[in-house]
Structure 1
Amino acid sequence: MLKRLRVKNFALIEKLDLQFSPEFNIFTGETGAGKSIILGALNLLFGDRASSEIFREGEEELFVEGNFGIPGQDEDLLIRREMYRGGRSYVFINDKQVTLHTLKETTSHLAEIMGQHQHQNMLNPANHVDILDRFGNLEGCADRFKKLFDEWKSLKADIEKLVNTRRELLHRADYLKFQLSEIESAKLGINEEEELIQERKILKNAATLKELSSTIYSILYDDDNSVYERVNQCRDYFNRLKEIDINLPVKHEDVENLAIITEELGKAA
């Protein structure tokens, strides 16, 4: 319950100190008498953002302070906002500086300001359960239920995570089993990878191999002045030498083998 409101240099108010009774309090007056200014000061106390227009003309600072009685508490809750032209603003709760966010959280349940045709929280279905809990003094039960419900949601999320992990592991196991079956059905040899790499290399260079083989064949066997022809000439010269000198160090079989090897190389290429 708001017990006291102090305002200084706010809009048209130079200084105001209002004491509220614990009973029903009513402000009356003609339009422009200042009722809405007091509500504006309360809104500022509950966390509304301010602009330079709320300062009393000619003043550089303002403050709004409220004393609130809290049921079950011996001491009042003291809330104060201090503002200065240029943007500086301070919030204090029980003389301790806090953030605007903390102010809004603290004052969210202290009071509800409603105007004509303004949407009321009590008409919001989202607040009906909370209203019933407070009416039946069930806040403690509601807090315990919320705690247990949050724990249940956490455990449910953990179970779903475990189920998803198990599903992924089973899927992975099936995939690995399929890959193993494919590898076994391929019946790969020990050195098959090296052989396949070599075969790929041969196929990739087939044109080069054909060209080189043709060139070697021509040089060794097919040209008019091929190695095979020259070896045969050498063999004839050797035979003539042998008729003259039978003690030549070169054997007849070596010359014959040279001719045979040259022919085989040419045909192999």
Structure 2
Amino acid sequence: MAFTRATGKHRRPSRMARSGANIAGIATLTAAGAVTSVASPALAAPGETPAPEETGLRQAIVAGDTLADTIDAQAKAQQEAADAAAAKAKAEAEAKKRAAEARREAAAKAEKAREAKERAAREAERKRLNTFVLPVEGSSVSTGYQASGGAWSSGSHTGIDFHASVGTSVHAVGAGEVVEAGWGGAYGNNVVIKMKDGTYTQYGHLSSIGVSVGETVTPGKQIGLSGNTGNTTGPHLHFEARTSPDYGSDMDPVAYLRSHGLSL
């Protein structure tokens, strides 16, 4: 009969218990895994106590203890290896989890930065489109609004004139859409723009026109060059602010430009 051992942690039976467990025969495992049996010797005569050397029990017990210790050592080593492998797997899983979380956080941060950049760009564009500029850079008014005289068919000046020699760049004062670009009679070559706020601006006496009807313009876009075309006594830019695209709907252009943040 072979010795058996329950799985898990346990206490081995004492040497005394093992020696009495199998007097008839003791089975042990060889290094190659074969089972060998220690047969019991012939029964002693009545009244005689057999010596350990004669029974073979001592050798069997020692062999059993050695095998048990070897099995315990192997089991312990296997358990330690399994624990180490489990710890390594757990550490690798945690590292992967942390790396994934770091990637998600980095992606979220990058997305927030991108959104912030886009918002800033939209805000900058909005401000730019709502910004007004003077129609002629670095110029000043040569003739004021509603100046009287026979030079104007209405009897007074319907806009303001800016000093500008022929060929000076003329800019749209703000964002809008071109509704007229061509010959304007007494205004010579002229451009009329419908502004974003629903008002209209006019640019007259141009030597050349650089935009066409239906074109969208932004603040500061060059729309033509100043000149001396139409009813004029010399080169300059005639600028008007109107409530409609039609002649006679003029309003004070100085007050109009100042209401949009310009100083002149």
Structure-1-length-normalised TM-score:
0.23
- Report the TM-score, using the length of structure 2 for normalisation: 0.24
Q: Which of the two has greater helix per residue?
A: 1
> Using CA pairs below 8 Å that are at least 6 residues apart, which structure has the higher relative contact order?
2
- Which has a greater percent of strand? 2
